[in-house]
Structure 1
Amino acid sequence: MTVAERGRLSWLLVRRGLRRASGRVNNFPLLPWRLIPRKADRLLLSPQDLRTADGTRASEIYAGRFAFAGKVVISDGRSPFELAPPSDEWAAELYSFGWLRHLRAADSAITRANARALVDEWITLQGRWHALAWRPEILTRRIISWICQAPLILQDVDVQFYRRFMRSLTRQVRYLRSNASEARAGAQSLQATIALMYATLCMASQDRHLRGTMKRLSDQLDQQILPDGGHISRNPGAIIEVLLDLLPLKQAFSSRNMQPPQALLNAIDRMMPMLRFFRHDDGNFALFNGMGATPVDQLATILAYDDVRGEPFEHAPHSGYQRMKLNNLLVLMDTGKAPPVAASQEAHAGCLSFEMCAGGQRIVVNCGLPAINRESWRQVARATAAHSTVTFNNTSSYRFREEGPFRKLIGVPVVDGPSEVAIARDDTEEAILLRASHDGYSSRFGIIHQRSVMLTAGGTKLEGEDVFTPTHGEMLPPGARDEFAVRFHLHPSIKASRIADGHGVMLVLPNKDVWTFDGHEDRVELEESVFLGGTDGPRRAVQIVIYGHARQASRVHWTFTHTPRTHPAARKTGEAAKGRKSQNEPELPL
């Protein structure tokens, strides 16, 4: 770890320590009363909630069945806020009140009364203080939910409840305003500022905070939304989450006859094309750096706001990704360094990993991260071995701070990783060639990993090569470990079987198309894998692996080739032509 990285990590520790101390002070029985407003504000407007709602879930909530984060709790007539939560994830969803949108979707007198009753119970039981419910990230979501779902909660209510609701909301906003800086750096910090902007625009008596909140929002958008539209965390999912909040916020400015900050408009304009950049042809996002299951419905809602709707660009240099498409063959590749330490809590060690999609079917993927029980999978999912790239000596190309007394305080940030990622790309009508290298294994094993991939043959062939170059000199240092594993994780819908010679694998897609993986001079293995990026939880999958030693084999050449389906009458002709190489097919210039 460099001196600069130690300094950044130390500052992160100090900030988290201050946050914990602040929480303990605020938990003092008398102090929280200073945040109670002298009078209740009025609600001026309620922005639209773009998150998908399911009206059928309203009946479950009315019956006291609360299903969140893979856990189900039956309240049996008691308030859910009185019950011991089965997990922190379940509690976070309950206390965030995002489920109010399901009640609103049902749109009945019963669901409105149920929503008011649950909100009133929370105010009574946890409205003064609760260690988990008042965390900045949960408080952020609750403020936004209450403001967006106010028509559900406040329709036809009496003056007494209206004042009680507004006093509680005003108190929460005041608390977040004084503690927003303690939200985790990255998307959570930005969303906390967005929540304060919601409150400033939608609540009376908040106008005095307008200038300061707009400046804070503009500063954070400029810092976190990169020039190419990616998020500083390099997590594609962060773009979706931020846009779901920014688009209604933009409309809220218009409803108040105010001009939105230019930074907000610019950020939206930059992020919209990135939605198409990360999107496979089947509608799902590539699984990089903490991305899990794609909220397809919400993504479609956001894309409806995209006025340009142009073709995605090919290179995101600031985010560190490449997109290569030739006809029906699409490859997305991670060619970036780790995000800053403070924003690296979910960063994955997947440098030079790629995902491959053909004809709308994902073939090669990364493992991703599940929607629930993330902490139990996080360490495995972040490792290089969970990505379609090269693992050296069974270690990751990033180093995470996994041990120590401060893990609960700061999480598991990245403390070391590739510092140099070189990229060269050449696009022609016949082929797309990308060469990239990283030094993530240089300091520990004296190795530079170089990867070249080329899309050819009209989008029916992906040819690649992984090269292992000594960092210094022409040979690895004597006694240095040199074991490598080249991994290609397959989507669980792919049926894979080894070819008899042990050097290839036949891949059958759900539409019965056949692709062949060829390891050429190297033997290939089929091993178990797990796919975590689906909506239905972890699924069994397989991975293609090539093992070797860098001293004995400094190059690994591999190919994915599409085998076209032929009419029975033409099969004989096709078999006669098998093995003949097209004279126009370009070689991989490595």
Structure 2
Amino acid sequence: MSINEFFYSSRNQIRKIYLKSNLYNNKISKIEINNISYRPSLSVLSCLVKYDKKKVKIEELDKENIWENKKLSGNNLNKLNNFYWLFSIDLKSSANITQSIIEKWIEKNENYNSLTWQLDILSKRIISWISNSKLTYDKSGNEYKKKFNFSINKQINHLINEISKSQSVDDKLLGCTAIIITGLSYENEKFLNYGLELLRKIIITSFDDEYFPKTRSIRQLNFYLKYFVLVRELLKESFNNIPEYLDEIIFYLGKSYAIFTKPEESLLFNGNHQNDLKEFNKYLSLYKYKFENSNNEVGGYAILKNKNCTLAMDIGNSPQKKFSHNYQSGALSFEFFYKSKKLISNSGYFQDYKSKLNLISKSTAAHSTLIIDNHSSCSFTNSRSNNLLANGLKISNKNIVNEKNYWLIKASHNGYLKKLGILHERSLEYFAEKDKLIGLDKIISKNKLESKKYDIRFHMEPGVKLTKTLDNKTILIEIENSGWRFSSNCENINIESGIYFGNKNLSSENQNICLSGKTNDISLEIKWVFEKIQ
């Protein structure tokens, strides 16, 4: 263990002791008791919560033993304690039973508990308790209201005390929302002002000069937009002023969102997985949000579209280390859709940091791009259970052409330069009238290279059928709505089995087309073609 790790571990242990002390408990117990005056409407919160069509009656739960179930652990225990299951409870259910369950929780968890007071769990619990006040608060007695109000305010005091120490911006934004909702509902200016100032700081530190997340994560873009829109609607519904910085970030995030917004076309770049955005798009429409963007590049992604096809390529620099939790080494990888069905894909992202599959999904081999000598274009190091960037890369020589019947995306990256002395340049050309995608990968070095193995993979979604012809020079591809032919000047064309991570924290088998060979000169060009079978 290094000195820094020892110091960090020791400091955490001391912190844990302090949080459980009477001194800390007294500190967060100093509150002003008010009653709830503003109740957020469930329709405003529908962007955040997926409401089950089939509602559960609270009477069906084991209310007497719900907090005594010792068999629950991990994610199930977290879900129970965050109370988001209240959003699935039938509003005709007994408020008395609901309040009895909450009262038992308060008695069992009245003081800080590291399991049930984690920032994300606590924040969701506050949001749920206040948002479901028809069941959790209304028509209750004064004694219950006193306990409820005290518990919420005490938890918020803890949240305010600890939120700046969190390394997760997602958790900070969730906590920020809980603080703002509490400030609005209890007319507590201290909480509201703190929450809005924290929101402003999150915006300042988390976005680049073009208001795209510094992580370069599309999934995080969607996450941020949902919460910013929610906060705005809460402020509007409660007749509070909306800060200019909130309107500004929603405007710019919305422009980026407009490029990625097609629900059936999830792009698997840098931490993203299959996302169903249909309900959120309905929400935006309901609350009169309309975003447009005619740009061809946003956040380091080139995205070209027509009525039939979408071509997207990662042409952005790697992020700073502290923003690289979900970054994947897929520079110059691309995805291609034909009539909303994906022909070429990346393998996706396994989000669970504790799994070995997380690091596998971050590798260049998991992307539709070139790898040299079995090295990824970026390397990662394990830091406090997260795989963060150790060595990043820069993009150069970008060129994007978007004409009616012709597209070009071209760029280079230096991810292999320091270790192997190699630049990778890729160009993609699409001819719309011929339904033909032509790619050219260049392996470039200023000096004569020692022979190195290269591989270029083109990943498919599970279920796509690949067939190699008898001459070993062509691969036939069958997707749901069309057939395609693949060919290349590379001598070794093979079909490989792989792992697909497109669905959150799930893995399944897929196939990929793999071109392989060896470098033997200062420059090597590998040409390949995808052509629709007419």
1:464 match: 439
Tell me what 2:413 maps to: 438
Of residues 482, 485, 495 in structure 1, which corresponds to 2:455? Answer: 485
Verify the 8 A CA contact 1:433 1:453 in the aligned structure 2. Answer: yes
Q: Give the counterpart letter for 1:273 in structure 2.
A: K
SS at match of 2:496: strand
Which residue of 277, 292, 297 maps to 1:296? 277
- Name the CA shift for 1:210/1:49 in 2 (closer, same or farther; >3 Å): closer
Q: Please give the alpha-carbon distance, in whole angstroms, between the structure 1 residues aligned to 2:129 and 2:259.
A: 33
- Shift of residue 447, structure 1, vs aligned partner: 1.1
Quote the Cα distance in structure 2 between the aligned partners of 1:320 and 1:24. 44
Label 1:458 to 1:188 Cα distance change in 2 as closer, same or farther (>3 A): farther
Q: CA deviation at 1:177?
A: 0.7
Q: 1:47-58 alignment to 2 at 5 Å? A: 47=40, 48-50=44-46, 51-56=49-54, 58=56
Which deviates the most, 540-549 or 529-538? 529-538
- Contact conserved, 1:81 with 1:121, CA < 8 A, in 2? no
Shift of 1:372: 7.0
Name the residue aligned to 1:124: 107
- Residue in 1 aligned with 2:347? 367
Q: How do 1:116-155 residues align onto structure 2 when only pairs under 5 Å count?
A: 116-155=99-138
Higher mean C-alpha displacement, 437-446 vs 291-300 = 291-300
Give the unaligned 5+ runs of structure 2. none
Q: CA deviation at 1:173?
A: 0.6
- Seen in structure 2, the aligned counterparts of structure 1 residues 269 and 550 have a Cα distance that, compared at 3 Å, is same
Q: Is the 8 A contact 2:353 2:387 kept in 1?
A: no
The 5 Å alignment of 1:183-332 reads 183-204=166-187, 206-280=188-262, 283-304=264-285, 305=287, 307-310=289-292, 313-316=295-298, 319-332=299-312
Aligned: 1:515 with 2:491: no
2:10 matches 1:31? no
Is the aligned partner of 1:407 residue 2:400? no
The aligned residue for residue 313 of structure 2 is 333
* 1:10 CA displacement: 11
Alpha-carbon deviation of 1:528? Answer: 1.0
Corresponding residue for 2:502? 533
Classify 1:460/1:18 alpha carbon distance in 2 versus 1 (closer, same or farther; 3 Å): farther
- Separation in 1, partners of 2:76, 2:352: 9
Structure 1 residue 109 corresponds to structure 2 residue 84: no
Q: How many Å separate the matches in 2 of 1:536 and 1:383?
A: 16
Distance 1:224 1:449 in 2: 30
Residue 327 of structure 2 corresponds to residue 347 of structure 1: yes
CA RMSD of aligned residues (A): 2.9
Residue pair 2:265, 2:340 contacting (<8 A) in 1 also: no
Question: How far has the Cα of 1:176 moved from its partner?
Answer: 0.8
Superposed displacement of residue 263, structure 1: 1.1
8 A contact 1:240–1:299 mirrored in 2: no
Q: Which moved more, 1:127-136 or 1:207-216?
A: 207-216
Whether 2:82 is the aligned partner of 1:96: answer: yes
Q: Does 1:79 align with 2:66?
A: yes
Asked if the contact 1:388/1:486 (under 8 Å) is kept, the reply is yes
| Distance in 2 (alpha carbons) for counterparts of 1:76 and 1:381 | 42
Tell me how far 1:530 sits from its aligned partner: 2.2
After superposition, the Cα gap between the structure-2 partners of 1:434 and 1:420, relative to the gap in structure 1 and judged at 3 Å, is closer
Q: Partners of 2:6 and 2:175 in 1: how far apart?
A: 20
State which of 390, 398, 401 in structure 2 corresponds to 1:426: 401
Q: Which amino acid aligns with 1:58?
A: V
Checking the alignment, whether the CA contact within 8 Å between 2:63 and 2:97 is kept in structure 1 is no
Aligned equivalents of 1:189 and 1:285: distance in 2?
Answer: 26
Matches within 5 A, 1:8-27: 21-27=14-20
Q: Give the distance between the partners of 1:40 and 1:76, measured in 2 at CA.
A: 28
Between the aligned partners of 1:151 and 1:387, the Cα distance in structure 2 is 49
Distance 2:442 2:505 in 1: 37
| Amino acid in the other structure paired with 2:272 | M
What amino acid maps onto 2:197 in structure 1? K
1:547 match: 516
Deviations 1:258-299 (A, max 9, x none): 22111111111111232232245x624211111123133443
- TM-fit CA distance, 1:309: 4.4
| Counterpart residue identity of residue 365, structure 1 | S
Structure 1: runs of 5+ lacking an equivalent: 1-8, 65-74, 565-590
1:276, 1:312 within 8 Å by CA — same for their partners in 2?
no
Shift of 1:475: 1.8
Q: Aligned pair count?
A: 526
The 10-residue stretch of structure 1 (435-444 or 533-542) with the greater mean CA deviation from structure 2 = 533-542
TM-score normalised by length of structure 2:
0.89
1:294 & 1:20 partners in 2: Cα distance?
A: 38
Deviation at 1:168, TM superposition (A): 0.9
Q: How much identity, in percent, do the aligned residues show? A: 20
Q: Aligned partners of 1:179, 1:12: CA distance in 2, in Å?
A: 21
Contact 1:16-1:182 at 8 Å conserved across structures: no
For the Cα contact (< 8 Å) 2:284–2:290, is it kept in 1?
Answer: no
> Take 1:312 and 1:127, find their aligned partners in 2: how far apart are those partners?
53
Give the C-alpha shift of residue 488 in structure 1: 0.9
Q: Deviations over 1:428-448 (max 9, x none)?
A: 222111111111111111111
Task: Report the CA distance between 1:62 and its aligned residue.
Answer: 5.8
Distance 2:3 2:235 in 1: 39
Check whether the contact 2:302–2:400 (CA below 8 A) recurs between aligned residues.
no
Task: Check the 8 A contact 2:334/2:368 in 1, yes or no.
Answer: yes
Contact 2:349 2:504 in 1 (8 A): no
2:142 matched to 1:159? yes
